[in-house]
Structure 1
């Protein structure tokens, strides 16, 4: 595959400028860059969703097919997006052979399931072809999408943030399958903000910055700091986290959880988060960590126990959590964190609508001023408060979610994977804002799979099969956390 001198403009915006990238057959090639660097635009050109304004796309030395010939594109390239394209109301078999259920005659459902079973077995995907796709986990959905792409003849697969919602064990399994596909001659473009994954699974890396090509180099020939510097255009030292003194025992608890439990997710749990303290929670996908955070934030109803903020018991539900002073950054910003049809300003100021005018009215000037203050505070890269939130890159969209969560200056901030799918600079900006909230006295409960996130915590709790099995104070090693997550020290 080759993209040679491609450029793309959307109105006055230059999305790509004279970018060239060549990927050898059977190579796993990383594409990295900050949010807004041009990665998504390049993917849209490589998959035929947009035509370049200049330059050309070639597959196997031949020009890309016409944009209207979708069948020809599917035979050449497929993309496994961060947001799954699996249709949950159909079975696995129906998803695998979507629009290919028959060869012109009536659909033979038994034969379709047998074909699906053979395909899944060929690629080592342990899924029942007759099962509803809605029952699949994230890892299974991704593997089904990869199998579907390969079954159509594509030998070039684009993987867009494939590990963003996987735990450590699932990531290892995915990487093992990717190595097997590469060994069989499948070419892959791997897009990730997790640079360690680039070093683990990729042969070559290309960096985009500000819509331009910066470098292409063998992964073995470029160090971590040099790679980050190429992405940001700045000298970096991003992994150093300033240590704070231990919390004074006399500092009051901002959040207290007493015997909190959720049937099927986690067992009775008691903990305190002091005012100004950042407590991290991590664990595997089945540990119960996300369910715990969602219970505290009001998205789930506990089967036992209580949540208290500032000594007052919090009722069930999101409105009660908001009234009690809990701000929440949910796991899925697209589905739970943002209203995509509204503007940046409307999303950022939603919790303080009652403060933006008299008698339940919202004064546009007051809302715009509040939104502009949030944009400046969180360094949200946008045309302004009236810009559609759907136009933002992933990192900037996540900043809007955080701005909304902190709009009422909460006593407690609950964060679920707050930096998933964002670039290295946006990650530092988000974590800096969290630290600033803690320094101002907010108690923070941060659920994350990212070791870089957890390094900002005063202590880290590791959950395993619904229980807190390990508590680590600041200064822990990566090995300690990984061992506890895998249950080695449980």
Structure 2
């Protein structure tokens, strides 16, 4: 065998009494796309931090091309070996593409916190201490002509069709990802970690990303692909490594590992057992009263939408990116104000454009992005879970500590959140448990309407079933549920699915729809 491009052996990583990785192993061959999969908490993120030089293992070894990994302090050496493109881009949104390409690293501060601009008009403000710049210079000043020229050449080399002068914030998610990949390749790295790269992409954007990955593979680039969407593993990867409970379970060619066997390796249980644990589907009573009644809703994102959801009914909203489905759902949660139309919830006018008013009216919401919209990272699990019901837990602005702790503990038990208790920082949780905290807060107010936007994004198979089981529980409680998702498995729980296309409802599919039928509606195949 040839020397592996990347090899991790017997890697162990501990954080105090917690063993985050007990037996990490990975062997990646040059030029392949290698999938790393496992449930939330399996140890994937810890292994990636070690592979990218952000942390050192307590035990075990990491080698690149047969040579030991560089010292952690030698950031230049690490950048020549490996780069990670995260689900949430690390590019500075207010800088141009060219400026971002020649900013070497932002590793300790989030881009939103970088209070500087390297471009013209910066007023001489120095870069943040966490960034390292490598702009071409002439006599001590940045040469903007060379910067644009070298950026254009770099983008052209890797077939990234983006304007170097474009403001990064104006780019599509898929283009921002490609800019990050180009920046990594410019250092000489040929091993790229893609961490949930499709989480914010629709089907067409995903296919374009996969096409670009294949082209880069042909040019000698190697990928470590991390995703909870197993169908993507089979579509774009040649080899898969499974971690479970902080340990290596198996590495195998994707073609030799059936999906059922892959799920069993990840979960430790067969796919049939997981399915049996899910709450059985229950369809709504056709005579149940209408709880949500929307008429003629119109905005920049959607037009003339009529929508009803009955008591105990689960209605899905599907559509490609830009269909208006997310904006429509967020309007019910108080994030937007339609330019026309009205909505009533249980016979009362539903307020728009006011999140607190929507909450008081009986709307609970799981937002589209738990990191940016759903959680306050610096707070505890208990604080996050009870944030929407503080008025119930005290009087005159004083919150009863014991009462809040007891209420939070009930939510933790109800959602089966794996935690040391309500005082644990929410930032310590895996993706699946963090999403359960967001769901717990949405359910804490006993909403009459529950709006779920991408409720299982970035969670593992078992956490997904646990979250979807809460949808069934809400149905049993008589809650009206609106589910917006790009995941067909999320939509299967629905009594019916409405498809939006260019802002209009173009199709309705009752429960029992077939995948190809729904996909045809989503993609605009079966309508003009």
**Same fold flag (TM > 0.5):** yes
TM-superposed CA distance for 1:314, in Å, is 1.2
Q: List aligned pairs for 1:143-292, cutoff 5 A.
A: 143-237=178-272, 238=274, 244=281, 246-263=283-300, 265-292=301-328
Q: List aligned pairs for 1:298-317, cutoff 5 A.
A: 298-316=334-352, 317=354
- Corresponding residue pairs, total: 489
Q: 1:403 to 1:455 in 2, by over 3 A?
A: same
Counterparts of 1:250 and 1:54, CA distance in 2: 63
Q: List aligned pairs for 1:114-133, cutoff 5 A.
A: 114-133=149-168
Counterparts of 2:287 and 2:423, CA distance in 1: 45
**Further displaced range: 433-442 or 102-111:** 102-111
Instruction: Determine if contact 1:239/1:452 at 8 Å carries over to the other structure.
Output: no
Residue in 1 aligned with 2:134?
A: 100
Q: Please give the per-residue CA displacement for 1:10-35, whole angstroms capped at 9, x wherever unaligned.
A: 10100111322110000110000000
Instruction: Determine if contact 1:86/1:133 at 8 Å carries over to the other structure.
Output: yes
**Further displaced range: 244-253 or 185-194:** 244-253
Residue in 1 aligned with 2:407?
A: 370
Q: 1:103 to 1:74 in 2, by over 3 A?
A: farther
TM-superposed CA distance for 1:102, in Å, is 1.9
TM-superposed CA distance for 1:124, in Å, is 2.6
Instruction: Determine if contact 1:283/1:463 at 8 Å carries over to the other structure.
Output: yes
Q: List aligned pairs for 1:339-488, cutoff 5 A.
A: 339-488=376-525
After superposition, the CA RMSD in angstroms is: 1.4
Runs of 4+ residues deviating >6 angstroms: 240-243
TM-superposed CA distance for 1:87, in Å, is 0.5
Counterparts of 2:400 and 2:275, CA distance in 1: 43
TM-score under structure 1 length normalisation: 0.97
Residue in 2 aligned with 1:47?
A: 52
Q: Please give the per-residue CA displacement for 1:121-170, whole angstroms capped at 9, x wherever unaligned.
A: 23232221111111112111111111111111110000000000100000
TM-superposed CA distance for 1:359, in Å, is 2.9
**Further displaced range: 102-111 or 28-37:** 102-111
Residue in 1 aligned with 2:24?
A: 19
Residue in 1 aligned with 2:34?
A: 29
Instruction: Determine if contact 1:331/1:416 at 8 Å carries over to the other structure.
Output: yes
Counterparts of 2:465 and 2:284, CA distance in 1: 23
TM-superposed CA distance for 1:244, in Å, is 4.8
- 1:10 corresponds, among 11, 15, 29, to 15
TM-superposed CA distance for 1:476, in Å, is 1.1
TM-superposed CA distance for 1:360, in Å, is 2.8
Which secondary structure state, in structure 2, belongs to the residue aligned with residue 124 of structure 1? coil
TM-superposed CA distance for 1:474, in Å, is 1.1
Counterparts of 1:21 and 1:435, CA distance in 2: 39
Which secondary structure state, in structure 2, belongs to the residue aligned with residue 266 of structure 1? coil
TM-score under structure 2 length normalisation: 0.91
Q: Gapped runs of 5+ residues in structure 2? A: 1-5, 104-132
Q: Please give the per-residue CA displacement for 1:204-237, whole angstroms capped at 9, x wherever unaligned.
A: 1100011100000110111111111111111222
Instruction: Determine if contact 2:35/2:241 at 8 Å carries over to the other structure.
Output: yes
